[in-house]
Structure 1
């Protein structure tokens, strides 16, 4: 090959590489199946958010829009917020349902679709999850890992909320908890020692009462008296990753409810 031909070849190769970089790298289908990218930070931040769920919005004690106001919500017209120097500044009371946390439920240990399909280091395949089989035996239970993120959506999008009035101090998207690092999540016996009140509801009458809770929540009401029930999803206890095989949506929803319950039980999810 002559020198001029070699230069032409290098030029064409450089153009081809530049075109590949310009178009962007697309992961293979096999990689997507292993740990898919949820494309969280895309147009989904706008299109996949239930914006109507923010209502009712309360301003100075007056409600705007339909929806349920949680018990214990402030109805004060005026309030005080402290600035960076700790000096109180007067303001008006505003309240609404704010997207504050994101719970990610996965079967593959360490897989983080919300982090662009990243596989977190240190995860062992011995803790791999399973959807269960539903064959009237021990396989009637599934197991999922969860990742708990700070997700102050309105603050991230610079909507409505001034940073100085954040109740929990979380200002951006961040990892808060990984079930792969929690030995109680894949062991019911260990989970019992962190929440021994499970013994009080580990009986047929208490579990049967969850049918009442399911009927109550189906009407759109909240029943705080049956704290061990998660509506039609099932029982919150034990606070571990094992869930009955009642369908993918129910299983992942119950796993998320268990995760939130376990974190609140340990004092790690306050003010949400």
Structure 2
């Protein structure tokens, strides 16, 4: 009954779209409609017994290892079926206004600190890479385990059971504005600023466009640009869609580096989550929620792995209207787990 009431509350709170929740003209947004704004086929493919595809939906996947038809866990003891799918459990919004939450209907809070750190796109096209512009944006991360709350798939042990929360906001993170300070968290990224390392980004972009990015090239985010530094600065701004996807990627990489975001795919995740300091980019796919939901399938797909060129998805996203620099995404994470009954269930 508690789970049913939570699901009902979530649907009531998020299925109805809304204009800005306050009178602040700088902060725009709407609540995502979980029925119409989310491309739920991103959950697929769903696999059982290690290799048998139950549902594909035309969506992409990568081999995360393990072909055994059964699995075992020791704590708590369990015998189950290896199960694989993509779970929506997080969202981000990227905004030019500190303290603005576009995916909460455009609510804006008084941040106190960094209140003047507004996002901006430089008009100067003499950037470090060719003739590109630079930009800076703020980011908010939401935990939204919608599948668990709605009880939509499999058993609870295979789903993120965290409560709905906003665990990280960029305006409260002193490393978000400072490239040098952010480098202290990821000292291993310093050697990858040379031309050879930069050139490897092209290979990553090609791989992401054809399928999934290359985990070995961890310092690149494919067609989005540099993975590091993990800040709100983008020295190669091409479009707001590209910058917003890069910022979403960097937030995930930052939380992995800090040890607060754990991985959930592969044989190591069958019985529990595990820490992964250098993020494997293949484990996440994004689908846009705001300003226009990415529900129209392109080549049969409506969600994209990290680093894929956004040239086909960014049509009609930068309109001359308030909040045109604000973007929101649903994050689908690859989940491999041992689905089965445990004592007491």
What is the TM-score normalised by the length of structure 2? 0.62
Partners in 1 of 2:144 and 2:21 — Cα distance? 29
Partners in 2 of 1:50 and 1:28 — Cα distance? 24
Q: In the TM superposition, what is the alpha-carbon distance from 1:32 to its structure 2 partner?
A: 6.0
Give the 3 Å change call, closer, same or farther, for CA 137–219 of structure 1 in structure 2: closer
Whether 2:233 is the aligned partner of 1:227: answer no
Match of 2:305 in 1: none
More strand by share: 2
Match of 1:125 in 2: 115
Match of 2:294 in 1: none
Of stretches 182-191 and 123-132 in structure 1, the one that deviates more from structure 2 is 123-132
Partners in 2 of 1:54 and 1:98 — Cα distance? 6
Task: Report how many aligned residue pairs link the two structures.
Answer: 239
Match of 1:153 in 2: 146
Match of 1:36 in 2: 28
- Gaps in structure 2 of 5+ consecutive residues: 1-17, 265-345
Q: Is the contact made by 1:76 and 1:93 (CA closer than 8 Å) also made in structure 2? A: yes
- Gaps in structure 1 of 5+ consecutive residues: 1-25
Q: Is the contact made by 2:27 and 2:101 (CA closer than 8 Å) also made in structure 1? A: yes
Calculate the aligned-residue CA RMSD, in Å.
2.7
What is the TM-score normalised by the length of structure 1? 0.78
Q: Match for 2:253 among 248, 261, 265?
A: 261
Partners in 2 of 1:197 and 1:252 — Cα distance? 24
Superposition map of 1:147-226 within 5 A: 147-166=140-159, 168-170=160-162, 172-226=163-217
Pick the structure with greater CA Rg: 1
Match of 1:136 in 2: 126
Q: SS of the counterpart of 2:140?
A: strand
Give the 3 Å change call, closer, same or farther, for CA 30–60 of structure 1 in structure 2: closer
Q: In the TM superposition, what is the alpha-carbon distance from 1:89 to its structure 2 partner?
A: 5.1
Structure 1, residues 88-120: CA drift from partner, whole Å, max 9, x if none? Answer: 454433220111111111110010122232223
Larger RCO of the pair (alpha carbons < 8 Å, separation 6+): 2
Q: Match for 2:242 among 234, 239, 250?
A: 250
Whether 2:107 is the aligned partner of 1:115: answer no
More helix by share: 1
Q: SS of the counterpart of 1:228?
A: coil
Match of 1:47 in 2: 36
Q: SS of the counterpart of 1:92?
A: strand
